Structure 1
Amino acid sequence: MDSQSIKTIRRYDIDWLRVIAIGLLLIYHISIGFQPWGRMIGFITSKEPWAALWVPMSLLNIWRIPFLFFVSGMGVYFAMQSRSWGGLLKERAKRILLPFVFGMFAIVPIHILIWRQYYGMELRYNWDPGHLWFLGNIFCYVLLLSPLFYLIKKNEEAKLVVWLKSTLRKPWGLLLALIPFLLEAVLINPVPFELYAMTWHGFVLGLIAFFFGFCFVLSGEGFWKMIQKWRWLFLVLGSGLFVFRNYYFKSFPPSYLLAIESFSWILTVFAFGSLYLKGPSKSLSYLSQAAYPVYILHMIFLYLGSLLIFPLEIPVYLQFLLVALITFAGCFGSYELIRRIPLLRPFFGLKGGAGK
C-alpha cells in the first residue's frame, strides 16, 4: 500500500479502541471507589472494600493510560493529512486546550466539592486539573512534537524516514521501539509505575507513546500485518509477565518488567483490534462522538453516585452496579443535552453545530 492510499484510509479499529479505552477508564475509576487506598488519591470510597476487583485493575493499570497516549499520537497523524502546522495547532487548541481550561474551572471543582462534602471538609477549591491532566499532557506533546512530525511528513522519502517505516514493519523493530520505554522506566524508576497523573513518569512515558503512536501509523499496512502475525506472542508475553509479577513480586516489581508487560499488552490490543474491529457502524459513530464529553464529565457523576450509594447498607457488588449505572447514565444523558446546544459543544471537544 503506497503512502497516498494510507493517507486516505480511515482506521475504524482505532476509533473502536479509543471508545473501549475510555469505557475501561470509567470502569477502572468506579473500581477505585472499592479499594481502601482510593481516598488517598481523592476518590470517595465505600466502607466495604471489594478486594477481588484489584486483580483486573492491576492488569489494566500499567497499560491503559499509555495506550491512550499511543492512540492520541495516531490521531495527530490522521489530522495532519488535511491540515498545515498552523491549522493543526488551531484545531488542537479548540479541541484539547479549550476543554482543558474550561474543565479545570467548571468541571473539576464540582466533583472536588462533592468529595469534600462527603468527608465533611470545608467547601473550598484550589486550582487543580484533576482527571483532565491527560488533556494538558496531550496539548504539550502536540506543541513539542508537531514540528518533528511535519518534518517527517515533508521528507517521507528521506533515507532516515524510509528506514524508520521499514524497521517498524519488522518484529525486531518493536525491540528498538521498546528501548525508550525501558530507559524511561530505569532512569525515572517510578513507584508505583501506574502513577501517571502530574508526574515526570507520566509526562515522559506519554511523550514516548505519543511519538510511537504517530510512527506506527506512519509505517503503513506492513506494521499492522506484522503485529497481527505475532499477536499471540504478545498476548502470551503480557499474560506471563502479569502472572509472574503477581505471584513473585506481589507489590512494586521492577519498573523495566512493567514497561515490557505494558508494551506487550498494548501491542496485543492493537493487533487483535486491527484484525477484528473493522468497518463503520452507527454505534461507533455515536460512541466516538460521545467518548470525549463522557471522559470530561464522568468524575462528577461517579462522585454523585458514590455520595448517594455508599451510605446504603447493601451488598458491595450492588453498590458497584448502581454507581456504574449512575455514572454512565449521567454522562450519556448530559452528552445528549450538550450535543444539541451549539454554544456548549466546543467546551466538551465537539465540533460546532448541533448533533444529529
Structure 2
Amino acid sequence: DHIYFPNPGHLWFLSTIFIYVLVLCPVFFYLKRNPDNVLLGLFERVLKFPPALYLITLPFIFEAELVAPEQGFSIYANTPHGFWVGLLTFFTGFFFISIGDAFWQAVGKIKGLALAIAIPLFLVRMIFFQLGGPFYLIVIESWSWLFAVFGFGATYLNHPSKKLTYMSKAVYPVYILHMIFLYLASDLVLTRPVHVDQAHTIMAIEPDSPAAEAGLLPGDQLITKFEDWKPDVPLEINVNRKEDSMKISVTPDEKGKIGAEFIRIPFFIPKYAESDITTFFAFLQFILINVMTFGGCFTVYEVIRRIKWFRPFFGMKPVTVSE
C-alpha cells in the first residue's frame, strides 16, 4: 500500500538555509566588502602549506562530539545536530569561495593526499564499524572526499565547457525533481517486500519519563505503530540502536505517551523473502532506477528551462533558453 505523510521531503532544509542567511548576512557582507580583512588574509597565509586545510575539520569534530546523537552522525534531518553542522558547512562554503584562487590552488595540491586519506578511512569504517565508527573519523573522511573532489575538479574541469555550463545550471532543478522520479522508478522497478516496518527515530527524551526509565536513547529507532499504544499498557518494542537490535519494554503514561519526541517522518524498512532477490538482479534494478531517475529529471528540466515564468520556482533566472 502507498502511504503519504505531508512533509517538505528532501527540501526540509530550505527554511533552515533561510535562517542561516539571516544570521550570517552581517558576516557575509563584511567579508565581501572587506576582501583584505584579517581573517581571510590569515587563512591565505596558512594555505601556503595546503594540508593546513584540514584545520577546518576541528569545528566539525567538536560539533559532532558535543551535539551529534550517539546513535549516528547521519541523523541530521530536522535535528539540532543537522542545524549546527549545516550552519558550519554553510559558513565554511562561503568562506572558501571568498578566499578564491588560494583555496582552489590548495585543494589542487592536496587532491592526491586527500584521496589517499579518504579511501583507507572508508575501508576502515566499512570493515570494522559497518560504515559507522567514531565521529572524528567520519568528519575527517568526509572532508577528505570533499578536498579530493574539489581538487580533481579544479585541476581537470576548471575550463570553459558547454557540458559543464549545462550541468551547473541543472544542479538545483534536478535536485528538486530527483526524489519524485526516484520514488516513481523504485515503485515500478523494485521487488515488492513481504511487509514494511515503520521505524520512528527518537530526537529527544524527557527526564524521568517512561522512555527514560526503559533505557531508550536519542537516535533509537522504534519499530512500532503509534496506534497500537494504549495508556498504562506495557509494550514490547523492537529497537534498532546503531548496528544492534533489541527488545525493550516500556509502558505509556495515562495519555498513551512515553515522553519521547520523534522525527515526524518514519523510516520505512522493507522485509523481503530470501528467494525474492539476488545480488545480480539487485544490481540491474539499481542501474534501471538510476537511468529512469536521471532521464526523468533532465527531461522535465528541459521543459522547465524553456518556460520563462516557471524558471524562478526552480532557482533559475527568468530568461528563456533562447536568450
TM-score for both structures, normalised by structure 2: 0.66
CA contact (8 A) 2:174 2:298 kept: yes
Matched residue pairs, number? 235
After superposition, the C-alpha distances for 1:176-206 in whole angstroms (9 at most, x for unaligned) are 3221011011101333222332222222112
1:176 paired with 2:142, answer: no
Aligned positions of 1:66-81 closer than 5 A: none
Q: Which residue of the partner structure matches residue 20 of structure 2? A: 141
In structure 1, how many angstroms separate the alpha carbons of the residues matched to 2:39 and 2:288? 54
Aligned partners of 2:282, 2:37: CA distance in 1, in Å? 59
> For the structure 1 residues 286 and 251, does the alpha-carbon distance in structure 2 shift closer, same or farther, using more than 3 Å as the test?
closer
Structure 2 unaligned blocks of 5 or more:
193-275
- Matching residue of 1:232: 112
- Pairwise CA distance, 1:270: 1.1
Distance 1:219 1:166, change over 3 A: farther
Report the equivalent of 2:79.
Answer: 199
Q: For residue 135 of structure 2, what is the amino acid of its counterpart?
A: S
Distance 1:279 1:216 in 2: 20
- Highest Rg: 1 or 2? 2
Partner of 2:173: 293
With over 3 angstroms needed to count, the CA separation of the structure-2 counterparts of 1:250 and 1:344, relative to structure 1, is: same
The letter for the 2-side match of 1:295 is: Y
1:117-138 C-alpha deviation (Å, 9 max, x unpaired): xx244xx543x11101233333
The 8 Å contact of residues 294 and 332 in structure 1, kept in 2 or not, is answered as: yes
Distance 1:149 1:169, change over 3 A: farther
CA contact 1:168–1:219 (8 Å) conserved in 2: no
Report the CA distance shift for 1:240/1:310 in structure 2 as closer, same or farther (over 3 A).
closer
C-alpha separation in 2, matches of 1:251 and 1:160: 36
1:214 and 1:221 map into 2 onto residues whose CA distance is: 14
Q: Which of 55, 79, 88 does residue 208 from structure 1 map onto?
A: 88
After TM superposition, the structure 1 stretch with the greater mean CA deviation from structure 2, 270-279 or 153-162, is: 153-162
Q: Could you tell me how far 1:352 is from its partner in structure 2?
A: 0.6
In structure 2, relative to structure 1, the CA distance for the partners of 1:311 and 1:165 (3 Å cut) is same
Asked whether the equivalents of residues 165 and 219 of structure 1 are also in contact (C-alpha less than 8 Å), the reply is yes
**Residues 175, 279 of structure 1: CA spacing in aligned structure 2 closer, same or farther, 3 A cutoff?**
closer
- Counterpart pick for 1:164 among 43, 52, 65: 43
Deviation per CA, 1:216-273, whole angstroms, max 9, x where unpaired? 2222323322222222221111112112222222353111111111111111111111
Please say if residues 235 and 268 of structure 1, whose CA atoms lie closer than 8 Å, have aligned partners that are also in contact: yes
Structure with the higher fraction of residues in helix conformation: 1
Q: Distance in 2 between matches of 1:161 and 1:323?
A: 44
Over the aligned positions, Cα root-mean-square deviation in angstroms equals 2.3
The alpha-carbon distance between structure 1 residues 305 and 172, as it changes in their structure 2 partners (threshold 3 A), is closer
| Counterpart among 147, 150, 155 of residue 34 in structure 2 | 155
| Partner Cα distance (2:30, 2:299) in 1 | 43
Contact 2:107/2:151 (8 A) holds in 1: yes
Question: Matched residues in 1 for 2:143 and 2:121: separation?
Answer: 11
Give percent identity, aligned residues only.
47
Q: Is the CA contact (8 Å cut-off) linking 2:110 and 2:147 kept in structure 1? A: no
For 1:262, which of 123, 130, 142 is the aligned residue?
142
Using a 3 Å threshold, how does the CA distance of structure 1 residues 286 and 171 change in structure 2: closer, same or farther?
Answer: closer
- 2:31 aligned counterpart, secondary structure: helix
1:1-356 correspondence runs (5 A): 119-121=1-3, 125-126=5-6, 128-171=7-50, 173-190=52-69, 191-250=71-130, 252-311=132-191, 315-356=281-322
Aligned equivalents of 1:251, 1:158: Cα separation in 2 = 41
CA shift for structure 1 position 310: 2.3
Whole-angstrom distance in 2 between the partners of 1:164 and 1:120: 52
CA distance in 2, matches of 1:249, 1:171: 30
Residues 1:319 and 1:150: Cα distance change in structure 2 (over 3 Å): same
Which amino acid in 2 is paired with 1:286? Y
What secondary structure, in the 3-state scheme, does the structure 2 residue paired with 1:323 have?
helix
Q: Distance in 1 between matches of 2:147 and 2:135?
A: 18
Q: Is the 8 A contact 2:306 2:321 kept in 1?
A: yes
Q: CA distance change for structure 1 residues 327 and 185 in 2, over 3 Å: closer, same or farther?
A: same
Q: Deviations over 1:3-39 (max 9, x none)?
A: xxxxxxxxxxxxxxxxxxxxxxxxxxxxxxxxxxxxx
When residues 301 and 157 of structure 1 are mapped into structure 2, their CA distance, relative to the original with a 3 A threshold, is: closer
